[in-house]
Chains A and B, each alone.
Chain A
Amino acid sequence: MTDSLSIVAVSAPSMALRYAAAFFLVVVGIGLIYALVRLGGTLGSAEKLLTDVDTEVVPLLKQATETLDGVNTELDKVDVVMSSVVDVTEKVDQTTRVVESAITVPAKKAAAFGAGVSQAVSSFFNRGSDSGEPPADEGASGGAWGSQAGFGSGAASGSAAGSQGAQASAGAASGSADDGASESTVAGAARETAETGGETASATRAAARAADDTVEAASEAVAQAGETDRVTGA
């Protein structure tokens, strides 16, 4: 009896521990079961999700691949178009340069020619009015110089001053005449020649202005061509 009581006394805590351990194990087991059940559900959901993804994403990927193929095809076409545009731009550039050289060079030459002719004519007839006095060794033919000076200055096509000089030399020619009748005749002839020279000067100036207008038009064309070239190049 004492032994059994001692056993009971001794084993009472041990039994409590055992019950506690058993209860703990049962609780842990229940928790594990719950966790495993939840994990199974989660895994099922994941499997379902993966299945859905597998069934839905693959067609999407196929569509995306087809779309990319179409985009690549369009990009190839755009590349061809861009190559054509580059070719056209180069041709426009070359054409612009050709037109520029074809316009500017003749226009430049025309302007230079007009200025040269105008200056030459002006110089030719103005020198006549400047050298109105006869040379010293001319002797008896000095009177001829009056008329020659009248011719030279009378044409006076270079400038209005030439015409004025022509009239002045006409007066000089008339002064060198011996009688009044011949004086008026020579002066009238010189004035008439001066008027003709003034008309020639006006015509020459008009030609020079036309050449200047041509040059200005060529400059504007070059500027526009350069602008077009810059835009197409951009």
Chain B
Amino acid sequence: MRLLGTLIFGTVLAGAGVAYYVRERSASTGQSYVEVLRQLPGDARRGYGEARRRAQLAIDDGLRAARVRERQVDHALVAATPRDAEPSA
């Protein structure tokens, strides 16, 4: 019963999302609802691919920025540590 409710809720939510998208897309492009629905799988694939490409690039940028920030923090910590307190080798 709980699974059925979840499925119904998910279906209604997905339907509402698709309906909103179709309405907005039809309003912006002037295409009919049927044409928009027919192009929906292709648009979804393209959107997924684009989002994946952007995510990959964003992850690369984030890793690069994280390394730079870590180096900056390292330098700040070394600068803040007195020389007398440094561990002897």
Contacts and interface: CB of A to CB of B under 8 A. Distances in A.
Interface string A104-132: 10011101111111111111100110010
A227 B84 CA distance: 8
A31 interface: no
Contact of A143 (B25, B58, B64, B76): B25
Contacts of B86: 226
A178 B32 CA distance: 13
A215 interface: yes
Interface string B77-88: 100111011110
Interface string B37-79: 0010011001100100011011101111111111001101100
B30 interface: yes
B77 A108 contact: yes
Interface of B: 24-25, 27-31, 35, 39, 42-43, 46-47, 50, 54-55, 57-59, 61-70, 73-74, 76-77, 80-82, 84-87
Contacts, number: 131
A115 B82 contact: no
Interface residues of A, number: 55
Given A120-B61, A124-B55, A141-B39, A230 B85 contact: yes
Contacts of A173: 28
A186 B24 contact: yes
A115 B67 CA distance: 9
Contacts of A113: 66
Interface in A65-106: 96-97, 104
Contact of B39 (A118, A128, A140): A140
Majority-rule SS of A interface residues: helix
B24 A119 contact: no
Interface stretch (A7-15, A35-43, A144-152): A144-152
A30 interface: no
A63 interface: no
Interface of A: 96-97, 104, 107-109, 111-124, 127-128, 131, 138, 140-141, 143-144, 146-148, 152, 173, 176-179, 181-182, 185-186, 189, 215-216, 218-220, 222-223, 225-227, 229-230, 233
Nearest to B64: A119
B85 A229 contact: yes
19 contacts: A114-B69, A116-B65, A116-B69, A118-B62, A120-B59, A120-B62, A123-B58, A138-B46, A140-B39, A143-B25, A144-B39, A144-B43, A144-B47, A152-B54, A177-B29, A178-B30, A179-B30, A216-B76, A218-B77
